[in-house]
Amino acid sequence: MITSKDNDKIKYLLKLHTKKYRDQFNAFLVFGDHQIEEANKNGYSLDLYTSNPNKKGELISEALMKLVSLTETPMDSLGIAKKKEEATYSKRILMLDGIQDPGNMGTLIRSAIGFGFNTIISSLDSVDYYHERSIRATQGNLFYANLVKAPLKERIQALKFLGYKVYVTSLKKSKDIKTISPSEKCVVVLGNEGSGVSQAIIDMADELVRIKTNDIESLNVAMAGTIIMYEWQV
Amino acid sequence: MITSKDNDKIKYLLKLHTKKYRDQFNAFLVFGDHQIEEANKNGYSLDLYTSNPNKKGELISEALMKLVSLTETPMDSLGIAKKKEEATYSKRILMLDGIQDPGNMGTLIRSAIGFGFNTIISSLDSVDYYHERSIRATQGNLFYANLVKAPLKERIQALKFLGYKVYVTSLKKSKDIKTISPSEKCVVVLGNEGSGVSQAIIDMADELVRIKTNDIESLNVAMAGTIIMYEWQV
């Protein structure tokens, strides 16, 4: 049983709390039986650690499990998962331009899987998909997603070449989504919580779209995205 | 300028961080210019405090403002608002049975105002509307809402007597919301994040409803509620 926080494996686990090292090692942490099960089911390779002698994985002390976990009530198992290679685009794609809140990110991934937007492409300045709070908010749906992080302009050019139409959310000069029949291959673009989608991306839109509401205050970005994906689900 | 945390006014401000005292004094805190403006606009009476000599309100030191604020980057103004009396029911009502997460609560209030569900009724065991994270998530929309906290069973009986139909979300034995035309006066009931709506309330439903998704994992409760209110907006 590992009991020292100076153990190299524990040091590695702790490093994976930060995006820098998740990027460097191309790996991330999953916590608890449900996340581990969903990761396994979707072919992720996992290194398991546990504080419960009856569970699979290398045994570590409860104190270390608490240290490595990021919540006040730690699970008794965790795994290090390798990120997956990019897969084929789904027909419906969710694109995120500068989303900052990990809760919004995770919620959007969860809704995207629910409505068939299995490919998600986020800008380089968006919050990390693999932030602990993002993974938690996906409720296990993260492992069903094809997650891409890339400069958006080049991706949009390539997607248009492949026949995708690009629908960008905007409060100005936009059409009510209820009045639009999206093309079979479509990209829905959501923007930053404060400033929305950047102008350079708005300029590349095939259509600007919005959701009809009673007042001028916009919806939370995760709500807006969920409604559009619900309307345009496959 | 108030500089001591032993000042009676500061002690009172600090007490309002907890639900117990918000209930006892029938008051809550609002932070920053936007919230204060929205509260004023909607007729809330406010006692203002600020660390900025150029702003309205009793002057307090920056250190105290930081202490009283609940975020790492405090605003320079805050107010104590008196809760409002219950108002007339809106035709569309959102009912919450055991919602626990303040972020979900605030997001639901925000969406409810966006879609004309201005009356919100939550069970006694739901998280406080006036939790700081809830208020923040409403983005100023809290002050437009008619917020009621009450035992749900009695309320449902009274609402039915007034001609309301009650639509309860449930994954079992439920109809796709797309197939239903709600009555003009309607109540949408959402449940706890883990366990959903309690059986006693399910038993009182006029209809059980759900949202069609691609997989069996349910949506986050704030997403589900937002979609239904979007579909049934007035």
The whole-angstrom distance between residue A25's C-alpha and the CA centroid of its chain comes to 18
CB-CB neighbors (< 8 A) of B143 in chain A = none
Give dist(CA B95, CA B229) in Å, integer. Answer: 12
CA distances to A83, A201, B133, B223 from A142, rounded to whole Å, are 11, 26, 25, 17
Instruction: Provide the pLDDT for residue A216.
Output: 58
Last residue of a domain, one of A82, A111, A131: A82
Q: At what angle do helices B221-231 and A102-114 cross, to 10 degrees?
A: 60
pTM: 0.91
Each residue of B139-184: pLDDT tens digit?
999 999 999 999 999 999 999 999 999 999 999 999 999 999 999 9
Cβ atoms of B141 and B110 within 8 Å: the answer is: yes
Number of domains within chain B? 2
- Cβ of B113 within 8 Å of Cβ of A217? The answer is yes
- Give the amino acid at A185: K
User: What is the predicted pLDDT for the residue at B198?
Assistant: 97
Tell me: do A110 and A194 sit in the same domain: yes
Same domain, B35 and B128: no
Residues A37 and A116 in one domain: no
* Same domain? B138 vs B64: no
Residues of B in contact with A133 (CB under 8 A): none
ipTM: 0.88
Residue B63 shares a structural domain with residue B111: no
Same domain, B151 and B44: no
**By the CB < 8 Å criterion, does B54 face chain A?**
no
Residues B32, B105, single domain; the answer is no
Q: Of B115, B223, B233, which is closest to A111 when you measure between CB atoms? A: B223
Note whether A214 contacts B114, CB cutoff 8 Å: yes
DSSP secondary structure code for residue A81 in this structure: E
Question: How would you list the strands of the sheet with A186-191, edge to edge?
Answer: A146-149, A119-122, A92-97, A186-191, A165-169, A207-210, A175-176
In the block, tokens 């006694």 appear at B124
Contacts of A227 in chain B (CB under 8 A): 226-227, 230
Sign, CA dihedral B216-B219-B221-B225, equals negative
Res A234: pLDDT: 85
Q: Are B126 and B193 in contact (CB under 8 A)?
A: no
Q: What is the pLDDT of residues A167-192, one digit of tens each?
A: 999 999 999 999 999 999 999 999 99
Q: Which domain holds residue B122?
A: 92-231
Residue A118 in any domain: the answer is yes
Based on its alpha-carbon atoms, the radius of gyration of chain B, rounded to whole angstroms, reads 19
The domain boundary residue, chosen from B82, B107, B130: B82
Q: What is the mean pLDDT of chain B?
A: 95
Residue A216 structure tokens: 């001028």
CA dihedral A30, A97, B232, A207 (to 10 degrees): -140
Cβ of B116 under 8 Å from any chain A Cβ?
Answer: yes
Residues of B in contact with A225 (CB under 8 A): none
